[in-house]
């Protein structure tokens, strides 16, 4: 029999979240971002959940080919483009689109002898300073691409750094939009601007974020990139990590809990051992006080997370015992709240669920 821990994937909620993204951007086509094995939810499930998307976007060339093998016939986009000449051959063979963000990629494309055309998304660096051509170099990169016989359509794209805070003091979204407008001036092609944060801002910034394509990612899985809780945007959790209490200890004042004796009881208390640890993907650095549900009641973790177990305070749940149900994150316990308590983000928690955790649908 398996351990009690399991990750339940809510496929219907993933579909719901895509519909919420579309509602924020009426008239725009949507790339559903499925990188990192659909943020830990599985490519096969993503294909079913996002069947209504106009395309799927990811960064792994081998996974892009896998999507074709799984039967996805609509567009596929590689968000970081191609890494070598072999990638270009596979892209042309399987009808996969790619992002060009540097001169070296364009040179590879110029030298390639491809069996067909590929669509290219030309990326502009508008201030995030990870990938992309500077606005003043963008038109030149566009002209190089346009001169390559194997290049089909060219889409103009950028990526927002702080769209969850429209008026961010360092780099407001309006400044990135301005830079994009300057760099793309006069160039034909559809525009692809908004990630999840941008999509969620669209209703509030009507007209300013007009985009032919949107690229929702984390919001499809029930998380947000920052700001308001996901439920306030009408999003639903796509993954619930749950387990059970497998042991109970009765402590007296002064007793310690866990490795390093990081937690000390200040009075009599009951604590429960949960079958979930850092080898399952739960963050080891999650401190005492990280929220958790036991039999539907909110309580807290205590002490240091170990490889296979973590400890919870059963004070708020006096009826709890061995076999009591525990929700680490998901339905009833927002992943973003757990992540914030642990000093990380919901993306990391969902992507980090370990292979030994049983995955089911529900």
Determine whether 259 is an active site residue: yes
Question: Residue 6 falls within a domain, yes or no?
Answer: no
Which pLDDT value is given to residue 185? 97
- What's the whole-number mean pLDDT along residues 332-348? 96
Residue 40, CB-side half-sphere exposure with 13 Å CA sphere: 27
Instruction: Answer whether 317's CB lies under 8 Å from 271's CB.
Output: no
Whether pTM > 0.75 for this model: the answer is yes
Q: For residue range 128-150, list pLDDT tens digits in order.
A: 999 999 999 999 999 999 999 99
Q: Are residues 100 and 196 in the same domain?
A: yes
Q: Are residues 75 and 204 in the same domain?
A: yes
Q: Are residues 248 and 307 in the same domain?
A: yes
* CATH number reported for the structural domain that contains residue 328 in this entry: 2.40.37.10
Is the pLDDT assigned to residue 62 strictly greater than 90?
yes
Question: Residue 2 falls within a domain, yes or no?
Answer: no
Which pLDDT value is given to residue 134? 98
Q: Are residues 224 and 81 in the same domain?
A: yes
Determine whether 236 is an active site residue: no
Is the pLDDT assigned to residue 207 strictly greater than 90?
no
With H, G, I as helix, E, B as strand and everything else as coil, classify residue 173: helix
Q: For residue range 291-337, list pLDDT tens digits in order.
A: 999 999 999 999 999 999 999 999 999 999 999 999 999 999 999 99
Which pLDDT value is given to residue 208? 77
Q: Are residues 142 and 284 in the same domain?
A: no
Which pLDDT value is given to residue 228? 83
Q: What is the dihedral of CA 195, 197, 203, 205, to 10 degrees?
A: -90
Question: Residue 87 falls within a domain, yes or no?
Answer: yes
Mark which of 206, 229, 252 sits at the end of a domain: 229
Q: What percent of the chain has pLDDT over 90?
A: 91
Q: What is the dihedral of CA 280, 282, 287, 293, to 10 degrees?
A: -100
Q: Are residues 127 and 267 in the same domain?
A: no
Point out the catalytic residue in the list 35, 74, 117, 325. 35
Token pair belonging to 124: 């502009």
Domain region containing 285:
239-361
Q: Are residues 245 and 224 in the same domain?
A: no
Q: Are residues 59 and 186 in the same domain?
A: yes
Q: Are residues 269 and 197 in the same domain?
A: no
Q: Are residues 219 and 245 in the same domain?
A: no
Give the chain's length.
362
Q: Name the band, by pLDDT with cuts 50, 70 and 90, for residue 248.
A: very high
Question: Residue 3 falls within a domain, yes or no?
Answer: no
Is the pLDDT assigned to residue 205 strictly greater than 80?
no
Q: For residue range 262-279, list pLDDT tens digits in order.
A: 999 999 999 999 999 999
Question: Residue 110 falls within a domain, yes or no?
Answer: yes
Q: Name the band, by pLDDT with cuts 50, 70 and 90, for residue 235.
A: very high
Distance of CA 264 to the CA centre of its chain: 36
Q: What is the dihedral of CA 66, 67, 73, 76, to 10 degrees?
A: -110
Question: Residue 43 falls within a domain, yes or no?
Answer: yes
Neighbours of 208 (CB within 10 A): 12
Is the pLDDT assigned to residue 209 strictly greater than 90?
no
User: DSSP 3-state helix, strand, coil percentages of the chain (rounded to 5)?
Assistant: 30, 25, 45
Cβ contacts of 23 within 8 Å, gap of 6 or more = none
- The DSSP code sequence of 192-254 is EEE-HHHHHHTTTTTTTT--SEE---GGGGT--SSSS-GGGGT---SEEEEEEEEEEEEE-TT
- Residue 122: φ, ψ to 5°: -90, 120
Which pLDDT value is given to residue 314? 98
Q: Are residues 338 and 212 in the same domain?
A: no
Mark which of 229, 255, 276 sits at the end of a domain: 229
* Cα–Cα distance for residue pair 11/298, rounded to 1 Å: 25
Instruction: Answer whether 100's CB lies under 8 Å from 112's CB.
Output: no
* CATH number reported for the structural domain that contains residue 181 in this entry: 3.20.20.10
Q: Are residues 245 and 225 in the same domain?
A: no
Q: Name the band, by pLDDT with cuts 50, 70 and 90, for residue 162.
A: confident
Mark which of 229, 257, 278 sits at the end of a domain: 229
Domain count along the chain: 2
């Amino acid at each position: 029999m398996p351990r009690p821990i399991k990750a339940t994937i809510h496929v219907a909620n993933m579909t719901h979240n895509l519909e919420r993204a579309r509602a924020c951007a009426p008239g725009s086509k949507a790339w559903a971002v499925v990188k990192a094995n659909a943020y830990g939810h599985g490519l096969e499930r993503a294909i079913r959940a996002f069947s209504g998307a106009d395309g799927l976007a990811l960064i792994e060339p081998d996974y892009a080919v896998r999507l074709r093998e799984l039967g996805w016939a609509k567009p596929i986009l590689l968000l970081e483009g191609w890494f070598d000449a072999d990638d270009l051959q596979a892209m042309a063979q399987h009808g996969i689109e790619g992002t060009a963000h540097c001169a070296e990629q364009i040179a590879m494309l110029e030298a390639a002898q491809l069996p067909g055309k590929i669509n290219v998304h030309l990326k502009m660096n508008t201030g995030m300073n990870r990938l992309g051509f500077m606005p003043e170099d963008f038109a030149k990169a566009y002209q190089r691409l346009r001169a390559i016989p194997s290049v089909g359509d060219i889409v103009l794209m950028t990526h927002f750094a702080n769209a969850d805070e429209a008026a961010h003091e360092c780099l407001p979204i309006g400044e990135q939009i301005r830079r994009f407008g300057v760099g793309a001036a006069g160039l034909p092609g559809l525009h692809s601007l908004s990630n999840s944060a941008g999509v969620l801002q669209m209703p509030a910034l009507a007209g300013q974020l007009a985009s032919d394509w949107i690229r929702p990612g984390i919001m499809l899985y029930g998380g947000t990139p920052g700001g308001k809780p996901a439920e306030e945007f009408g999003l639903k959790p796509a993954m619930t990590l749950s387990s059970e209490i497998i042991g109970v200890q009765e402590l007296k004042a002064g007793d310690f809990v866990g490795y390093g004796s990081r937690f000390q009881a200040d009075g009599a208390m009951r604590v429960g051992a949960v079958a979930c640890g850092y080898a399952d993907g739960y963050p080891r650095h999650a401190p005492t006080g990280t929220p958790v549900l036991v039999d539907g009641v909110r309580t807290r973790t205590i002490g240091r997370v170990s490889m296979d177990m973590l400890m919870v305070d059963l004070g708020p749940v006096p009826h709890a015992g061995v076999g009591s149900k525990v929700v680490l994150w998901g339905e009833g316990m927002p992943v973003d709240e757990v992540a914030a308590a642990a000093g990380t983000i919901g993306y990391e928690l969902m992507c980090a669920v370990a292979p030994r955790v049983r995955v089911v649908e529900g």
